[in-house]
Structure 1
Amino acid sequence: MTTAKKILTFALCLTCLTAGITGCAKDKSSSDTKIAKSTSSQTESSDSEKIKELNDKLEKLENTLSNILGEDIFDPADGDGNVNGEIHPIYDDTAVVEAYKSGDDSKLTDDKDKYILKELKKAVGEIIKDGMSEYDKEKAVYDYVFSQTHFNDDSLVAISDESEDDESYNPYGFFHDHSTICVGNATTIKLFFDVLGIDSKIIHSTENGEHAWNVVKIDGKWYHLDVTFDGGNEAPDYAYFNVPDTAKDDGSYPWNKEDFPECNSTDDCYICKNAKKLDSVYDIPERIKKAMSDKGKTIYMSLDVPEGAGSTAVAEQVTNIISNFYIDDYNVSSTPVIDAEDKVCFGISLNSADGDDSDNSYDTDNALGIDYDKLSKAFSDALGIDYEYEPDYSDNNIMG
């Protein structure tokens, strides 16, 4: 499940527990409440114990939500209007990697490192098979990390009573508690890659809040890999699996480009590798309809860049198009649009949910030369929905 859904779940929990505590306080001053009626035999002492127990749970939830967000949500903003958050350390996996490769764990003095090593060996044995390519190993690790850390509705694993220590920022939190924030995901993935001989680094961006992800070298080329920002629910949608700099460099989480290799290839980008070519933009609605009938969760598509249009302009226009509709009973979301120079690649995820209205106005150049009446009719014919797109573009139509 996505980080956003985690945040929503915990926010609801906070609300419920706060209401519960307030209710308990009212019970002590009034005998006319529902709880007082059903618990008339309880003593004032037991009420106090219950309030203390709920307060303890509330504090745990506050800490968990703060860790997910990477900031203290209950501290006042500073003079600039920003909320200062904790910056988590990057786990040093050197000792565990050496123990894994040598088969000798006698130099490991930390019990948590010993636990990480034990679980790492078990996991590698389960997911890595003989004959796998670097890409296959990378995807196996990605799928495993996604499946083990995404939030489980049946259990508030992030506030398990098994440990009072928050380890969500390192591999111990991953293996032991199955609960990680972005730093925990990135350090766990790097740990796997280090023992598998796959070159990788961690980008730890702290300028606009905290976020961490990996860059990985596959078949001699570097890519961004961000499992935390994967938009999938039960299954990943690979929104940030081997994407180029252009897909990550949107200003949200800046990094020092001089410290990391350039990521400019799309050869092993999951979205591009799995995209089915569309003849035109008007085929998008029909492709979505087919995915709905096949109960597909995420569909990947590509469009050729028309001669003279420019891939950047086309990518921007496609981004606007696929962000500009909703379907009743579905939660529709899109992956980044990947600029692959001669084509653009993108994905659309379909999950059962209530749709939300979107702002239907954009200001963009018509790089694809779209007849929007025709596009609206295509959506109506295929999906039975109204699609009103009224761009305000200049007379300088790239396709004439």
Structure 2
Amino acid sequence: MAGETLVRKPAWPDRIWRWVDERLGLDALSYRVPSHANNVLYTLGGITLFGILILIASGIYLTQFYHADPTQARESIEYIITTARLGDFVRNVHFWMANLVMITLLLHALRVFATGAYRPPRELNWVVGVGLFAVMLGLVFTGTVLKWDQEGWEALQHNEEIGELLGGAGIWFTSEFTTSTPILERLFIAHVAILPFVLLSILAVHLALVKYHGISSLPGHEERRPPEETDAEAAMRAEGHVHFTNHLLHIAGWGLLLTALGSLLALVVSAPLGAVIEPGEEKTKPLWMFLPLYPFEDWFGIRALLWLPIVGFAALLAVPFVDRFHSSSLRRRWVLIAAGVVVIAVLVGLAIYAQTSTPAEHVPAE
């Protein structure tokens, strides 16, 4: 009729989105973040999280076939490789994604360190991040043992020796804790339940703190903001903003690229499964993330594997409280940056030395 205005119904995707948003409040994710949030260096944390989700998915599949009994663990892995549907590919993806996630995690930590993003009021988020790093190392270590090859067996012997050094406090890490359940089964439970629960709990705190404080500004920007503004607000005023949903899309895109790289590596290079266990001999070396510790074990014995990580993690935890520079500018923090570069160079040098040295006997033969 004349004078009436036709009102078109929203398209069905919009209707579905409105229905879901009314119930879950997803539109709340469309808050503003600084434009530099979409710089790849500022998406490394999200990329790491994406990789962790792939690890969880592939790990769930592998648990359907893995048998944690010491007499059958290796055979179950051989079954995964040779018989289980897509088992070999999924195992390879799990292995390579674990390595790639450790790399993106380290790069994320280096970016935070270099830009001083741990400075007040974000000190606690750095502390939480150090906890995440520790849990990820625990997951890599327990995953190595679960292979139940020569490398896994040697890793377990080191675990037991360190547990012995800790005395009563370390009995949980040894076979003496209980005779009813083999320690391999207990490490399996730690790998698939305890450590993932701790990881996801710490991640929730980490993400909540990022949301509360906002994404940190570019180095030096806080010097140009009025005191009533947060650095995130100042960054958005200076450089513009994007919506967090757009930031999530960037993270998803990079995460898919990381997964594609992990899948490509999985097709080209198989995850290692070493020789059958020969008790009483040491023939292997640890994975690359543990290699810098290996020379110290040569020089000072098994105790080095207990005290060096304690000292190293204590130093990491102290970083935001030691850095008293009043600016995150790289130019003004050059002393701290130079010290970080020296530490990295030493760690790389130790890893190269360890990789090129001859395997040595560290754990007393049984």
User: Shorter-normalised TM-score: what interval?
Assistant: under 0.3
Larger helix share, 1 or 2: 2
Structure 1-normalised TM-score?
0.23
Larger RCO: Structure 1 or Structure 2 (Cα < 8 Å, ≥ 6 residues apart)?
2
Structure 2-normalised TM-score?
0.24
